[in-house]
Every structure is written in C-alpha cells, then in structure tokens.
Amino acid sequence: MANQLNADSLISWNDVLKTLRERDVRIAHVGLFDLMGVFRERRLGVEDAAHVFDGGGTFVNVLQQWDAGEQVFGKGPFVGEPVSIDPSSVRHYPFEDNACFVIADFEGPSAELSPRKLLQRLIDKASAEGIGVRAAFEFEFFVLNENAASLRKSGFGSLSTFAEDNRCWSGSSAATHAALITSLSELLASGGVDLLSLGLELGPGCFEATLRHKDAMSAADDAAVFKLFTRAFCRQQDLTASFMAQVDSSFSGLSGHIHVSLYDLETGRDLFPDADDGRGMSEVFRNFVGGMLEMAPQSMPLTHHTANAYRRHSPGNWAPKSVSWAVQNYSAAVRVVPYPAGACRLEYRLPGSDINPFLALAFVLGAGLWGIENRTTLPDEFQGGGPDEVPQEGARLPHDLFEAVDVMARSSHAAAIWGDRFVSHFLEACRAEERALRRETSSAERARYLEIV
C-alpha cells in the first residue's frame, strides 16, 4: 500500500473503499480531532466505516466539550450528531498491517465548534477570493527516558531525558542516535507524513522536525498526525515524546512554528514576493502580516490554548516576547522570508509546540485575510538582536491564559473573523483549562515562600 492514498481524485467513501479493497486494507482507524488536537477514534472494518461515520452515521457531540483532563466542561444534552468522512484524509496506518487512518468530522450543529471545520471555512473564504494557501509546520519536542508507568510513579516529577549527551545540531549526536531517528522517520513516511528534516536540537532529549509544505488542510492534517504518530512510536520504545511548550524550568521552551505563503488560484502566481519593493514584500504580503500582528494579542488563545503555553515566553527562552516582524530575524514574532522569490513566505514564531495545528493555522489565515481586507499597515521593523529584546512601541502580549481569554472575549474583530459561536465555545474551553490549574502550586513556589511568608 502506498504511503498515502491518492485521494484528491476520490469523491466519496465508496471510491475510497474500492481502492482499499484492491490493496487488501481491511481495518480503518476513523476518528475526529477535538479542541485540544487529540484524535478520538474507533477501530472498525473498512466495510463498516460508512455505517458508523458516513452516510447517516453519528458520533456523540460531547467530543468538542472534552478538556485535557478528560472532563466535560460544557452542558448537554449530549446526543449523536451526523458525521462524515473526508476521503482526502485517508492514509496508511503504520501501527497495524492492512489498516488505514481516516479523519471524520461533525456535520450537525457541532460542526461550528470543530477546529478542522473552522480551518476549512477560512480556506474556502480564501478560495472564493481566488487565493490559494500553502503551509508547513515545524516542531521541537523532547524525548524522555520515561514510560507511562515511571511518569505516574513519580507523580510526573521524573524527567530523565533520552540522548542526555545531545548538543544542538551536533553531527556526533545525530550519528549516535541515528537508529531512533531513522526508525521514527521511516514510520512517519509509511504513514504519509512528509518530512523535510528530522534531527536533534537544543539540549538533552530535544528533537526538531520540519514538515514539507503542502496545501493548507493537508499541512494541518500532517502536523496533527505527526504529533499523534510520534507520541505513539516513542511510547512503543518505552520512551515519552512531549510537546509541552515548557516541560520544566531546566528545559528549553519548545516551538511550533508555522510557514505560510499565498498564490493566485487561477495563474499559480505567488502573491507574497515583489521584486520592486525594498524588502521584497508585495502589498498583499504587508497587509497579511499587518493583520496577524494586529490580531495576535486579541486572539492569542487560538495558538496558546493551554496554561503551560505562556511559560515559554519567559526570559531566557528563544521565543518572541512581543508583537513584532522583521526580515529574516529569528527573534521576531513574524519572520519574513522574501528571497528567493519562489520560497517567499512568512514564519509565525510565536506559538509553542503544544498547538492544535488546525486552530493555529486558522489564526494565521483568518488574521491575515482580515489584514488584506482592511489594508492593515506594518509597524516599524524589529531591529532587536535577541528574543528578550522588546520594542518599546510594540503591542504587549497577554502573559497568561486568564488574561488572553479576557482580551479575546472583548474583541469584536475576533468574533467576526472566527465566528461568534466558535469563539464563545472555545473560550469556555480555555477557561476550563485555566480553572483546572489555578490552585495548583509548584514545588518551586513552596521552596520560595513556604518558610518565610
């Protein structure tokens, strides 16, 4: 079976089913991604998939009201709602012979609450304006020399890392740990995840993966599947892959960067480059980045939906601390890459590795299209030399999830761009996340205050 089915030409599950039969694929892992980016699936025969997930099948609508602690934060009634399979999502399932992986989504009222449906609506909006979208994700992640049992035995306090001898981009580290890197790369390739690179990054246990650019939805699907398959692969090796933005104060923060470019659907012409502009940026490019910068403080939960995400922006981490942009400057929130023109794009460097790819790309696309519509202008280019430098005139970012939710709830622009019902529901999910951890106290806080205050 090929790494990924050529599903672009398939218009229905019946077409997919015919191809699966020809390839002797008998099992389908079919599911939906929730607000946290978790894949909730059922394993069933491919012949039965349509009865459960397509053509009249239903799934309980509690799915989009489930938090990271496996608790329900919303109110019922919880009922079955129509769902449908996306034929273009079908790919090989690398953990089981003769099996495939399939993404479905709600078609009833809960479709408005789905991150993947939200992204699709924005892709459709761009298409209606003659704009095509390409995107790619890159993730840093830690591999811990811990399994499920050891983490729980220590109360998640044991954080021994794999590859303790690793040094950033070291050829020796890459050679030493080539077996794990090669095995993971081969498994991801067999599951249709197209990697541009996979290697070791900053410090013990730190890896970085760069995914190849694709159309927007395929890129988001690949990113979500990459995280799912990487976690499963590492757990099978008695290891743990972590995409937390800040695992511990002794660890570096983990980034989840997003690369985006636009093109004309009719001609294929790239819309971002302009050779006559001093910085190589077209007006569309400037407007798009301007929209992102204006909306970033107003809608930060879309890319920072966990309480932990905001810890990555603490001093010392290689993470932007402000709303900023610059050409080729890795310290800016938006890094503009104007040359070569054929690879002209933006890189959104504000998010951490814990993003839900569908929500994060929906932020970039929604804010950028809003910027084009409103002809937003760019502030002065950031000239700083390090991630802890903050431009005096730059807009301040919310410093925690509580503040970020409050800011987004008061933004009329956010409701207009991403939909009032989705925003309202999503912010309630973020409030549930913040409430769940509000009273939790770290050992570092106890060490600092317990004996003296």
Residue 197: per-residue pLDDT: 96
Q: Which two tokens stand for residue 17?
A: 């089913």
Q: Which two tokens stand for residue 158?
A: 């044991």
Q: Which domains does the chain have, with CATH numbers?
A: 7-110 (3.10.20.70), 123-445 (3.30.590.10)
Contact residues for 393 (Cβ-Cβ < 8 A; gap 6+): 379, 380
> DSSP secondary-structure letter at 34?
-
Residue 405: per-residue pLDDT: 98
Bridge partner list, 352: 255
Residue 393: per-residue pLDDT: 67
Q: Which helix (H) or strand (E) holds 57?
A: none
Nearest-angstrom CA–CA distance, 65 and 430: 11
> DSSP secondary-structure letter at 447?
H
Residue spans of beta strands (DSSP E) within 147-272: 195-200, 206-211, 214-215, 240-242, 256-264
Q: Which helix (H) or strand (E) holds 309?
A: none
Nearest-angstrom CA–CA distance, 279 and 325: 12
Q: Which helix (H) or strand (E) holds 28?
A: strand 27-33
> DSSP secondary-structure letter at 451?
T
Stretches where the chain sits below pLDDT 70 are 1-11, 55, 387, 393-394
Q: How many CB atoms lie within 10 A of CB 107?
A: 16
Residue 390: per-residue pLDDT: 76
